[in-house]
A and B are shown apart, each in its own frame.
Chain A
Amino acid sequence: MVKEEKSRYIAFEIIIEDETPLEVISVFNSISRSILSLYGEVEASQSGIWLIEFDAETCHGILRCTSKSLDKVQTAMAIVSSIDNRPTIIRLLKTSGTIRSLRSALEQPTLTSEDLQS
């Protein structure tokens, strides 16, 4: 029996120039385009990314990917510089193996240097 690959969930925040709400599809497209451009088609196919949820008002979202490609997906997200031709920063908040723990991270989105050191 083939074992199912483990998933990881990434909570993120999008900081964008004007306040016009973002469309979910634009966010997903820019992240997948970034993975494709940085790591190529093979890695993009293995990353298994899926945008679980995205709140256009708060610009917070959760992205799913395979645990093996977690670092690559995060790097590709960090490199995204625009969505819909609007200057953008994707700020990574937290990664986890379950969605539940991420929801609490979204309630307290401030990342401190202690988080970085741990």
Chain B
Amino acid sequence: MKGSYDVHVHSTHSGGTSTLSEMIEMAHRLGHQNICISDFGAIDPSQVETLLQECKDFTPNVYARADISPKTPRELSHKLNYVRRKVDLVAVECSSENVCRFASTNRFVDILTLPPTVKAPVFTEIVARNCSKNEIALEITLIPFIRYYGKVRAKLLRIWRKILSVALRNDVMFVIGTGALSKYELRGSREMLLLAKLVGLPHGLAKQSLLENPFKLIERRILEKNGKIIMPGVRTIDEEKD
């Protein structure tokens, strides 16, 4: 589980243009040790195990991530019931402040993502404080910065600087993902660091977001899946192993 992570990769199962094996192969070529496939919000949760078994023998470790894009908090809690405990990471796209605020207090959510068309006020001080308290990470999705240029990219950078200033003030955890829909949209770990710095993340935090934070989130979820976490803050310890 050590090494660099790309926490946001799509394949043909979730609207991407490259197959799962092509994405994994390219991630390996680019030097990633771990990738999180975001197909699991789009497919039936019962297929998760089958798809993960397919990826078992690949060199970069593959983790299951579910992307949820709810319009209301009620829809979010409904969808969370379907995917929780079945995937390694749960990411919620915050289209509105209500959803963002609800997601930031829910213990089954690991990552908050903001759509490219986001407006800065969605990620408020309260949301940032909740994220920091509940150890929910904010994802910096890099693909809009690669895909767009000119005025659109300038606007995106401006909005993200505002979001980052709120997040940094409140010690929010970050993760970095490309959000790649094709294998040519993936980037290596060095390039991801540079792009995160372009958005405004300090170098040390960018490294942490790429190497350590995804590991923390996945480890927490795996412990929970294995029944080691009874409730928030209470964990069973195997004396011999732990």
- Residues of A at under 8 Å CB distance from B? 15, 17, 37-38, 71, 74-75, 77-79, 81, 87-92, 110-113, 116-117
Contacts A116-B4, A117-B211 known; A74 to B185 CB distance under 8 Å? no
Q: How distant is B131 from chain A, measured CB to nearest CB, in Å? A: 26
A-B contacts at CB below 8 angstroms, number? 71
B191 touches A92 (CB 8 A): yes
Q: How distant is B238 from chain A, measured CB to nearest CB, in Å? A: 28
Query: What residues on A are CB-neighbors of B182 within 8 Å?
Result: 87
7 other A-B residue contacts (CB within 8 Å) besides A74-B194, A117-B207:
A75-B194, A75-B197, A75-B198, A78-B194, A87-B182, A113-B189, A116-B190
Q: How distant is A101 from chain B, measured CB to nearest CB, in Å? A: 17
Contacts A74-B194, A75-B194, A75-B197 known; A111 to B188 CB distance under 8 Å? yes
Contacts A17-B184, A37-B149 known; A113 to B197 CB distance under 8 Å? no
Contacts A91-B30, A116-B4, A117-B211 known; A78 to B191 CB distance under 8 Å? yes
A87 touches B189 (CB 8 A): no
The residue in chain B whose Cβ has the minimal distance to the Cβ of A37 is B149
Contacts A113-B189, A116-B4 known; A89 to B184 CB distance under 8 Å? yes
B241 at the interface (CB under 8 A from A): no
Interface size class of B (residues with CB under 8 A): 20 to 34
A81 touches B146 (CB 8 A): yes
Residues in B147-163 with C-beta less than 8 Å from chain A = 147, 149-150, 153
Query: What residues on B are CB-neighbors of A89 within 8 Å?
Result: 30, 184, 186-188
Q: How distant is B176 from chain A, measured CB to nearest CB, in Å? A: 12
B216 at the interface (CB under 8 A from A): no
Measured CA separation A74–B196 after assembly (Å): 13
What are 20 A-B pairs at a CB distance below 8 A?
A15-B29, A75-B197, A78-B191, A78-B195, A79-B145, A81-B146, A87-B185, A88-B184, A91-B30, A91-B191, A92-B190, A92-B194, A111-B31, A111-B189, A113-B3, A113-B31, A113-B33, A116-B31, A116-B193, A117-B207
Q: How distant is A49 from chain B, measured CB to nearest CB, in Å? A: 16
Query: What residues on A are CB-neighbors of B78 within 8 Å?
Result: none
Contacts A15-B184, A75-B194 known; A81 to B33 CB distance under 8 Å? no
Q: How distant is A107 from chain B, measured CB to nearest CB, in Å? A: 17
Query: What residues on A are CB-neighbors of B146 within 8 Å?
Result: 79, 81
B2 at the interface (CB under 8 A from A): yes
B187 touches A78 (CB 8 A): yes
Q: Which of B29, B187, B189 contacts A116 (CB 8 A)?
A: B189
Measured CA separation A13–B207 after assembly (Å): 22
A110 touches B194 (CB 8 A): no
A81 touches B31 (CB 8 A): no
Measured CA separation A81–B26 after assembly (Å): 15
Measured CA separation A116–B4 after assembly (Å): 9
Query: What residues on A are CB-neighbors of B188 within 8 Å?
Result: 89, 91-92, 111
The residue in chain B whose Cβ has the minimal distance to the Cβ of A16 is B184
Q: How distant is A38 from chain B, measured CB to nearest CB, in Å? A: 8
B211 touches A113 (CB 8 A): yes
Query: What residues on B are CB-neighbors of A92 within 8 Å?
Result: 188, 190-191, 194
Chain B positions 186 through 219: 1 when the CB is less than 8 Å from some CB of chain A, otherwise 0? 1111110111011000000001001100000000
